[in-house]
Chain A
Amino acid sequence: GQNIDQPTEMTATEGAIVQINCTYQTSGFNGLFWYQQHAGEAPTFLSYNVLDGLEEKGRFSSFLSRSKGYSYLLLKELQMKDSASYLCSSANDYKLSFGAGTTVTVRA
């Protein structure tokens, strides 16, 4: 599969900002997704980037650089409910590959 790298864990304080980086292989690249997965639940869609630049959606923003094979997910004004695993996923040709996920813990 496509090699997708993202940090395993991150911890931040309520109200702070956290940036989750993701690198992926660019061969046959068609787009980059971010999903959120709470413990014991199914993943839910957060964002999709296909062009370079920043996409902002409320407290969450996602950035893509196609030439560098790099993306990040920015979580602003962190809330306790943002404690979850964040999955970076690349679409290459017709296949989808996921990173192992970044577990974000928000502390009061």
Chain B
Amino acid sequence: EAQVTQNPRYLITVTGKKLTVTCSQNMNHEYMSWYRQDPGLGLRQIYYSMNVEVTDKGDVPEGYKVSRKEKRNFPLILESPSPNQTSLYFCASSQNANTEAFFGQGTRLTVV
């Protein structure tokens, strides 16, 4: 089954404790991206990747890192999480930026 898998689905952590949210897709897609979704603000792109070893900043990259060492995986790293990073996070993949995106089920992160 074609899918994008994110883990964990829910996470509560403390300020400053490094964390990684994993994202994996099985569709051989080249384009992957991370979003955060906050009430009233909609989905905002954090980082995107056009292919292996090619990543670039979206609209809200501060406080986040990503890597794309393999085509299927695109982890999101928060080196020192802060409470303003409490949000619902989605990973998505598509063949390229101009084709249908498939979203993971979301990760609800709370930073206290």
Contacts and interface: CB of A to CB of B under 8 A. Distances in A.
Given A96-B45, A98-B44, A45 B97 contact: no
Contacts, number: 62
Contacts of B90: 42-43
Interface in B29-63: 31, 33, 35, 40-45, 48, 50, 56, 58-59
Nearest to B105: A42
A79 interface: no
Interface size grouping (class) on chain A = 20 to 34
A48 B59 contact: no
Interface size grouping (class) on chain B = 20 to 34
A96 B48 contact: yes
Contacts of B106: 42
Interface stretch (A10-18, A51-59, A60-68, A87-95): A87-95
Interface of A: 1, 30-31, 33, 35, 41-45, 48, 50, 87, 89, 91, 93-101
Given A1-B58, A95-B48, A95-B59, 8 more contacts: A1-B45, A44-B103, A48-B99, A93-B97, A94-B48, A96-B33, A98-B35, A101-B42
